[in-house]
Amino acid sequence: MRLLWLSAERVDPEESFDCLAGKRPAPEPIRFSDATPDILARHMADAILVDGRTAPEDAAGVIRKLKNETEFPFVAVLSDAVLDIFDWSCGLSDFVTARCTPAELDARLARVASPPEEPESTDVIRRGEISINRERFEVKVRGETLDLTFKEFELIAYLAQQPGRVRSRTLLLSEVWGYDFFGGTRTVDVHVRRLRAKLGPEAHMIETVRNVGYRFAG
């Protein structure tokens, strides 16, 4: 694992922090005042250790500054004496205390360098290149978010829930527009046409079943 060490002064991290246990942050410690996004990007670290044992305010400040301009995980090294005054809102990914064990440090570094993937929400429907997020009212095609009206969203979400199943225009009016809707079945055709136009290369996913209605490709 590639590590960088940021500290108030350029002190050898292996001499001042025993928990490194042979892990050498490369190529050398970087002072807070010298740390820039360009320097961090040049070294391509998996995680950045920030020594806040003697200068917690400066450590939090440099994390906040760099976190806004980079995506590296920052792990603060703190003494028990500064835990109450450290600014936890600075954006650090995790922290260890000066008395941690090498095993704990390894575990925390591994966690921030390779965080577990969040389970996908059950409100997300994926059909080919189309992703429908019911919680966010969002539809994406090949990663690009579509600009849909509420009814267009409800229509595609309803069709995509059970791909391959034919839905009549009357049923769609009832389920998507509601029983109190007085428009004709042509309303469904208009919305399907607009949806297909917005789906672009994935327009074929909404199939027409002649004289019946529509279905989402299975």
**Domain segments of the chain as ranges:** 3-113, 124-216
What is the C-alpha separation between 138 and 57, in angstroms, rounded?
41
pLDDT, position 116: 61
Asked whether the beta carbons of 153 and 130 are under 8 A apart, the reply is no
What is the C-alpha separation between 114 and 13, in angstroms, rounded?
23
Domains 3-113 and 124-216 share a fold: no
Sheet strands (E) in the chain: 3-7, 30-31, 47-51, 74-78, 94-97, 124-127, 130-133, 138-141, 144-145, 167-168, 206-209, 213-216
Within a 13 Å sphere around the CA of 116, how many CA atoms are in the beta-carbon half?
5
Give the fold, CATH level 3, of 124-216.
Arc Repressor Mutant, subunit A (1.10.10)
pLDDT, position 76: 96
* Class of the CATH domain delimited by 3-113: alpha beta
The rounded Cα 136 to chain-centroid distance in angstroms is 14
Per-residue pLDDT for the chain (218 aa), expressed as one digit of tens each?
889 999 999 888 888 898 898 788 877 889 999 999 988 888 888 999 999 999 999 999 999 999 888 889 999 999 999 999 999 999 999 999 998 999 999 999 988 887 665 555 568 999 999 999 988 899 999 989 999 999 999 999 999 998 999 999 989 988 898 866 666 788 999 999 999 999 999 999 999 999 899 999 97
Q: Alpha helix locations (H) across 92-210? A: 102-113, 150-161, 169-172, 186-199
What is the C-alpha separation between 218 and 216, in angstroms, rounded?
6
Number of neighbours of residue 174 by Cβ within 10 angstroms? 13
